[in-house]
Amino acid sequence: MNSDFKELTVYKKAFTLAMQAFNITKNFPKEEKYSLTGQIRRSSRSVCSNVAEGYRKRLYEAHFISKISDADMENSETQVWLDFSLACDYITHDIYSQMCNQSQEIGKLLNHMIEFPEKYLRKSDKN
């Protein structure tokens, strides 16, 4: 069992995606600063923060699942903002496809955590 949430594959992949979102939005129009730019940055970063919070709540299965479910929700929201980014011609189709594929992979990992929480719970909760 990982002793730190930063060692989780899902956290590493979500962090990478959040940094990519940050970097691509640097070139978005200024009028998008408080809308699309802020939204995609916030939702992609929230995946990481919810995984971290869920990892610290893994003593309690329901709390763990709730936080990981929140991460999954934020990951889905990130996909929506990627859709808008493509539709507004702020990103290329290649960047869109790459980032959506990464997000889908993150979603599968989060779903595994939700479906099999016992693999992530602290030992003291498995008695």
Give the integer Cα–Cα distance in Å for 85 and 7: 30
Asked if pLDDT for residue 71 goes beyond 90, the answer is: yes
Torsion, Cα of 8, 13, 19, 25 (10° steps): -140
Tens digits of residue pLDDT in 75-111: 999 999 999 999 999 999 999 999 999 999 999 999 9
Query: Which H or E element spans position 92?
Result: none
Asked if pLDDT for residue 126 goes beyond 90, the answer is: no
Domain 8-117 carries which CATH code? Answer: 1.20.1440.60
Q: How many Cβ atoms sit within 10 Å of the Cβ of residue 79?
A: 18
Q: What mean pLDDT, rounded, does the chain reach?
A: 94
Percent of the chain with pLDDT over 90: 91
- Pick the closest to residue 107 from 52, 63, 47 (CA basis): 47
Give the integer Cα–Cα distance in Å for 84 and 109: 24
